[in-house]
Amino acid sequence: MTNKVFLGIILSVLFLHFQGFSQDKKWYKGNLHAHSYWSDGDQFPEMIMEWYKSDGYDFTVLSDHNTLAEGEKWITLSEKEYLQKGFRDYLKKYGEDWVIHKLDSVGHTKVKLKTLMEYRPLFEEDGEFLIIQSEELTTNFGDKPIHINATNIQQKIDPKNGESVTEVIQNNIDAVLQQRKSLHVPIMPHINHPNFGYGISADDFIPLHDVRFFEVYNGHPAVHNEGDSTHLGTEEMWDLINSSYLQEKKPLLYGLATDDSHHYHRFDKSYSNPGRGWLMVRTDSLKASSIIEAMEKGDFYASTGVVLKHLEISNDRLKIEIASEPGVHYEIQLIGRDASSKTSQIIEKVEGTHANFTFPDGYVFVRAKVISDKTNQNFFDETEFEKAWTQPIIINSK
């Protein structure tokens, strides 16, 4: 198959798909990366679910490290006062009949954690709020941390090793997809925070296959989304990877924004708090299968605060309208790579809340990015502005 034929097929599929957006589809807000007392978070699952539901999220996960919220698990409560207060608040809200706790031999409070099966019925409402089971497969290659989330996982998977960073990633992706295949259930792996410990480079991504998602934004203060003088930022990495994937006839890599929340009691730039990065997924129902299906088609955008009122993509143009806030200014960028270049560039930019971009000849893929001049006190970098990213699409079959 020639490149021209291959790209033509992809273009036709994308055209039919995006033209097929129907009015009965809705935008659903969700987070796909968060932690609780089941691993290294500092809050009880019920309190975390309450936070996300009350803050307007439609779906969320708890993706604790190398575990699922099942079976019996007790924690010994820290003596730190803010965590003691957190327990008192938990006990007050849910009561002695729900919260199982005791003192150990030295007087420390031990609390039995609720399983997903136990707390899920307290929060889920059909069409209103969904909890998706998840696990963060957590391993490393030497001193390189490698973390991969499995969204809608059905059975715990032990992390896999390998002889290189790429092999470790591939082995874990394969394990997730094998469970998907064997159980006939949509399960979605995504690569977490590649610049955490600078564990995963763009070169490590290039040989991978069946990799569809990674975190272009992660809300943890230690993940280096912007890179440094010797490491690429995740957004630059994203475009380089997609340039290679397109050349190798692989599906494009999509970018997520997630919280990676661990800390729920104290909010400032030194903590990993909820509410920093999320997804808006366009689908016809609030079900795990529908969300994953929509995401695998690219029917979503990632955000750290910017909300889109309208997003329409056809085979030759992209229309975007922002749900603007009073006094906030926006720049909408069309970013892409042309066939003669190895790097992406800003093709066009518009100041304001509306843009109607026509795709120029000679470009092989494009995506849109919105940058506002509004900062958010919840960010770990107070100089960072609220943003949104649409997913890349192939536009040129020449």
Domain ranges for the chain: 1-21+318-398, 28-69+129-298
For residue 187, CA distances in Å to 75, 138, 222, 240 come to 29, 17, 27, 26
Q: Are 341 and 365 in contact (CB under 8 A)?
A: no
Bridge partner list, 228: 231
Question: How are beta strands 254-258 and 213-218 bridged, if at all?
Answer: parallel
Helix (H, G, I), strand (E, B) or coil at 46: helix
Q: What is the DSSP string of 100-124?
A: -EEE-TTS-EEEEPPPHHHHHHHH-
pLDDT 10s per residue in the chain (398 long)?
545 444 444 544 444 444 444 458 999 999 999 999 999 999 999 999 999 999 999 999 999 999 999 999 999 999 999 999 999 999 999 999 999 999 999 999 999 999 999 999 999 999 999 999 999 999 999 999 999 999 999 999 999 999 999 999 999 999 999 999 999 999 999 999 999 999 999 999 999 999 999 999 999 999 999 999 999 999 999 999 999 999 999 999 999 999 999 999 999 999 999 999 999 999 999 999 999 999 999 999 999 999 999 999 988 999 999 999 999 999 999 999 998 887 899 999 999 999 999 999 999 999 999 999 999 778 777 778 999 999 999 986 54
Q: Report the 10 Å Cβ neighbour count for 214.
A: 23
Question: H helices within the chain, ranges in order?
Answer: 3-19, 45-54, 81-94, 116-123, 165-183, 202-205, 234-247, 288-296
Yes or no: say if 54 and 80 are a contact pair by the CB < 8 Å rule: no
Chosen CATH of 1-21+318-398 out of 3.30.200, 1.20.58, 1.20.950, 2.60.40: 2.60.40
What are 284-308's pLDDT values in tens digits?
A: 999 999 999 999 999 999 999 999 9
Tokens of 229: 């003088």
Q: What are phi and psi of 16, to 5 degrees?
A: -65, -40
CATH superfamily of the 28-69+129-298 domain:
Metal-dependent hydrolases (3.20.20.140)
- CB neighbour list of residue 216: distance below 8 Å, 6 or more residues apart: 225, 234, 235, 238, 255, 256, 257, 302, 389
∠ CA 198-203-205 to the nearest 5 degrees? Answer: 85
- Give the pairing of strands 59-62 and 130-141: parallel
Give the type of residue at 111: V
The DSSP bridge pattern shows strands 308-313 and 354-358 to be unpaired
